Structure 1
């Protein structure tokens, strides 16, 4: 069995975005002549936790056993280091052939010509994917990412820590942000020591959901190059994070330490936080890492109505193919295996979300353990209250996630007021997406 090659973090995300911006113009796009058959040597990249790495290698082994003329080398890292590495390898014309892509970066890479148009490649069958799933991977008139499945951003709760504190789980169909603050503070007080009531929900997706609860969006789809929110609501989000910090959340120092650490070393994964913000497909990995009884909760809202909490289904990830690949036919064959073969689906289960291909969802149903079935059931349970998903992030927005984290850190350390952070963040976001 071949060894995984670990990537390392060589650039900040902002620097990587600059490299990507100035370098990809020469990449070219679509299938083009490079779609011709090459030597069958492929590289496949992804991010994630150890169980995903093991499953991916098993998938590679299955595919290679059926396709002796194709060899695949796996490359993986943590989420942050993944994008730094991908930006530099793409700029250096050494990108992996098959790329695990995220919504935040899909249009960034497609818009710069770094991805092949999947709809032009022979051997990749997308007929089982409905129009809504395919639309999530489109840019202009092409298909640059094939959805691996759907998930939702949720609040994870550690039942064991709630029980240790002598507290009941909240009713997540009716709870408000005030309930969340109160419960977090009470958990911190009762558990004491190094255990806090909640981790921060302090990423761009958290800001997105907060804005959606107030009828706004992170990006303005009607006026490209501008944000879709008012300063008041963004400022209120930063104030909300200060409420978390001062009422039961981690210190600013612990926040920055955990943001730079691994998934398994996070406060929630190590039983040092009773609540934490994650994607639904991470439930199994969190239960494994923590060894605790972890459950999923809906996001709180101002009104206490689940239908107004701003949650949405997101394409968990995408399969993409580099426009630089010298064997796009082989790459398309491997993506077709990932998307349409029951053997591959049974290795992935719901780690990349509930499969977007309904045949694959049916194939894995008998294979699901309690963790995976819990995810499927929860996503079905919340369906009546889910709103339409936002459009993929615009070109230029690839560095917004790290930029938001930076402003969160400045606010938590009291280096910027919420108003100052909002003003500077907004100017920076608009500079990034207008340049795109």
Structure 2
């Protein structure tokens, strides 16, 4: 058994060697052994390709403002491992991590000896979250973010009050399929019988797959741009402002501090979820509370302005959809600036189109690698770039320090790519600044 936080964390991370193990059999086995904690939790389930973390944050902030103690389970972490299991946005303590690891470790050993095989890192952390919110510190509601896909994701043992699917993109195709429709089928696996679904999926084929599954499950569907809409959107210096509409109901001057049109969509999903929690499940959430919650919401590493003079932006744009949102926002807000980009990514991503979009936006672009098993080599990223002003660096810390020190008045430095990379950058900048 573990005596220290470091020992517990080392064991958890050692399970990374097992890779990704889709399927629910190991989770169901552990839930049975733990007396089904997943059945004791009121929850909301959020899946999709991009925007999951932001949508979790908006909804959590709204629920907090309404006076509900709200748990979250998210991945990956940005600043510290503990934030993956949080209460009201505050990561659980090191001591609680040790207790949770000691609760799950014996089950892991026992499971390893069965034909199912040992649990993956993500399965262990998911089980820890279930046990924590059911037994160690029950809360009013928990928001679970899907790790990968939906149908066979470890979180899909829960029985949520409602589900949200943010959008569909061509990410994790080696696990989820190569078309929007195939990926939508996996994401639609979180739809539960007679429980409302809220979604912002745009592709007609993907939407059709999701609607079909919802019909099979007799689940009411609330579709962005059909059942509820965003009007009067304006980008302002501090973020975005818009009006949310559902039938005759309007929520005017909804303001968020996260940047981009895509963030208004994530916020709109959270508003719809709050409305349904009130209507269908008896939550008491006033419209003024929703507005206050949206304005207070902050999620690190999402177009995060670290310093204003000189301007340094961090953004965890880790797939083509994320890169598109980032480059659109840079072009809209900073068309008169010289944009310098430092980029790193995981090797299993579709990198060519991502880098092409960055090339079109950046005046200068630097490619780096970082310490992570799946990280791409800087040389590989560099070779995919067609920019006449491209560089690569072996040491990403030195690259950031050098570029930041050389920024002139009209320059912007944008550090972007994998969220695992951004996590390491955040820690480095915290010490550097």
TM-score (norm 1): 0.28
Q: Which has the higher strand share?
A: 2
Point out which structure has higher relative CO (alpha carbons under 8 A, 6+ apart).
1
